[in-house]
Structure 1
Amino acid sequence: MADSNVYFGYQTALQILRAVDSSRRGVARYDDRKLPDRALGGEALAGIIERLCAMHPGLHIDLPAHVLVGGDAHRRLSRDCIEHVFSASLSGMPFYRLDKGVYVAAPHLAFTNIASAEKSRVALQELAYELCGTYQTRRTGVVSAYDVSPLSSVRSLRDFASANSSLRGARKAGRALRHVANGSASARETKLALVSALPYAQGGYNMGVPHMNYEVEASPAARVITGKSFFRCDLCWPDAKVAMEYQSRESHSGEASRIGDSRRANALASMGWTIVEVTNDELDSLAAMDTIAETVCRHQGRCLRPRISDYRARKLKLRRQLALPVRCGW
């Protein structure tokens, strides 16, 4: 019976997908796309969630869970779930099958779900960077973690939004993705990327979307210096041979790391690359980021010259949206 099925969407879908190995997700058949008219009652839903958590160690679903239903005629209020009416006909692969009668929205559908309700484009862009990156926060998982597999890619998110342009949230998702890249390794790298890439109108430095954790092939001379065949750069603009390296408080400590960093910098310099380091404190300083942006833009062969009268106010607004300090000095 269709009404005994449950379809998880929105943030709940992302929590589930983080914990369920991709090899254990079945592709939902076309016939399985018919959503139930109503959500399951509290006990039935609790039973399904308990069963899923037993099947997939490490899975935790925050309540109320977000579930998709096909109509609003039978909607019920519940502390255990939030019902979202969803009756669109979809192209592509919108759902995975987890168990008999249990389905979860694919990352591209969950992202579009969230876009339909998200008022902040910057928040949506942070979410997209995380979905397409190698880290997770409470936006997509239960706990923060690094070195995780990406849930999606910019191309996959964009293609789904384009193929389902009539879907609520699809256009907003498409606009947000114009300034998103694959491969960010942390939330702070994402914030640095957005501050750098977003256009002047959004308070960014208009540098263009960087390649994240880009592999630069080492020249023969650079291999001699470092013994490495390639170098990974945090934020990179390959055409201009310029990159920004985010230096967190935890990274690159100790004498061995200092020597390795020095050799790496010399090797990249020998290949004509310019590397601009950005510390945690510099990212938190508007004045420091202004100076860094001017340096990077100069190496890109252009000037940082916004023709917007309230550009400073827009920069401050963007920093607040990214939860970055708005202090001007150090």
Structure 2
Amino acid sequence: MTILVSHTSALEYWNTVGAKFLRDGASRRKATEAARLALDCTDKPRLESGNLRPGGCTLPLSVLVGNACARTSTSAIASRYVGGKLPDNSFADAGKGFLVSTPEFIFVQMATRIGLAELIRLGFELCGTYAENGKPASGARCMAPLTSSVKLRAFLEGAPEVYGKKKAARALRYVLDGSASPRETVLAILLSLPYRLGGFGLDGLLLNYRIDTGRRSQSMADRRYCVCDLYWPESKIAVEYDSDQWHTGAARIASDAKRRNTLLAQGIRVVGVTRAQLDDVEELRKVARLLAKMMGRRLRCMSPESVAAHYALRAELQVSVRPD
């Protein structure tokens, strides 16, 4: 029996095995054709003895079925019905009878399960170098991103009108590539989303942007290039998130100071944001005001509607409880 792994189970799988198992386009097209045939099956999906399943997937396994007769809910399987034609490149072969939703298809699937802010954050994760769900538990994938905003957009543009596509397309407008941690993602979302969605409207930023060391600053630099956590190229402003995990110890503090001086020599102004500032509404608002002033913008986020939207965004993102 062919089993179509989807939603959070598929995300757990990819966060465990990494992008190398996505294989090439021809393999994904072949897997997707096999998935379309599997959706015609009326048998209820079931796992083999020992609950065999793809690596990293916990029980119950979330799977897709295409027939009402095949729906089932057990301690091992939680089925979800999917109607219509599957988008191209929706699945990859995980072996042993398992086809797993690709990261692009997961993004569309999850649009039907979570709120807009959570979906935007998921997009950052899929296009970043860390994993919030599944293994590794440390939160650092240390591998290539599972997808990119360009690939997500291409998938949506080529997909039929599947359930969740409209919401996924809306969320994708705010997804950025290259985030290196969950908290970095939250900071970027809070600073960049428009007022109506609860952010501070400081758009135009890039994540983990590489700045090569110029000749003028080589004498004070301890590296050939610097990577800015958040960077607004038009204003030449960088924001560094000072994570408790990665920015402690005398040697690290000294390296950070030298790094910031290097950026200043390049004409790039640097603003630091701590964990405490990120978790404090008023403190982060002060940071946003400072950034807006440096950019020559005027922050307009104090209307009752904008304030309410900001608190709602924080609640959905669960800012204060997310680990570094």
Q: Is the TM-score greater than 0.5? A: yes
Deviation at residue 19 of structure 1 after TM alignment: 2.6
Letter in structure 2 aligned against 1:66: S
Q: Are the counterparts in 2 of residues 94 and 105 from structure 1 also a CA contact under 8 Å? A: yes
With over 3 angstroms needed to count, the CA separation of the structure-2 counterparts of 1:39 and 1:150, relative to structure 1, is: farther
Q: Is residue 2:88 matched to residue 1:92?
A: yes
1:102 maps to 2:98: yes
Question: Aligned with 2:319: secondary structure?
Answer: coil
Name structure 1 gaps, 5 residues minimum.
Answer: 54-58
Q: Does 1:279 align with 2:286?
A: no
2:10 — aligned with what? 13
Counterpart residue identity of residue 248, structure 2: S
Output aligned runs, 1:5-44, within 5 Å. 5-20=2-17, 22-24=19-21, 27-28=27-28, 29=30, 31-32=33-34, 33-36=36-39, 37-38=41-42, 40-42=44-46
Is residue 200–residue 299 contact of structure 2 (8 Å, CA) maintained in 1?
A: yes
Match of 1:60 in 2: 56
The one-letter code of the counterpart of 2:107 is F
How far apart, in 2, do the equivalents of 1:48 and 1:154 lie? 38
- CA change 1:266–1:277 in 2 (3 A) is same
CA contact (8 A) 1:39 1:69 kept: no
Q: Give yes or no for contact 1:15–1:142 (8 Å, CA) kept in 2.
A: no
In the TM superposition, what whole-angstrom CA distance separates every residue of 1:31-59 from its partner, at most 9, and x where no partner exists?
413233345454xx144852x55xxxxx2
> What's the C-alpha RMSD, in Å, of the aligned pairs?
2.3
Q: Which has the higher contact order (CA 8 A, sep 6+)?
A: 2
TM (norm. structure 2) is 0.89
Structure 1 residues 212, 38: CA separation in 2 closer, same or farther (over 3 Å shift)? farther
The 5-angstrom pairing of residues 1-330 of structure 1 reads 4-20=1-17, 22-24=19-21, 27-28=27-28, 29=30, 31-32=33-34, 33-36=36-39, 37-38=41-42, 40-42=44-46, 45-47=47-49, 49-50=51-52, 52=53, 59-118=55-114, 120-138=115-133, 141=135, 143-146=137-140, 147-306=142-301, 308-325=303-320
- Local SS of the residue matching 2:310: helix
Q: What does the per-residue CA deviation read over 1:160-218, in whole Å, with 9 as the maximum and x for residues that have no partner?
A: 12221501111111101111111111111111011101100111100005211110122
Q: Write the deviation string for residues 110-155 of structure 1: whole angstroms up to 9, x where unpaired.
A: 111111222x1111111111111111122x5473431243211111
**2:139 is aligned with what amino acid?**
A
What runs of 5+ residues in structure 2 fail to find an aligned partner? Answer: none
Kindly indicate whether the alpha-carbon contact (under 8 Å) linking 1:49 and 1:61 is maintained by their aligned counterparts in 2.
Answer: no
Equivalent pairs counted in the alignment come to 313
Q: Which residue of the partner structure matches residue 56 of structure 1?
A: none
Residue 220 of structure 2 aligns with an amino acid whose one-letter code is I
Residues 265-314 of structure 1 show CA distances to partners (whole Å, capped at 9, x for unaligned) of 22211221111000111111111111110111112221112474422222
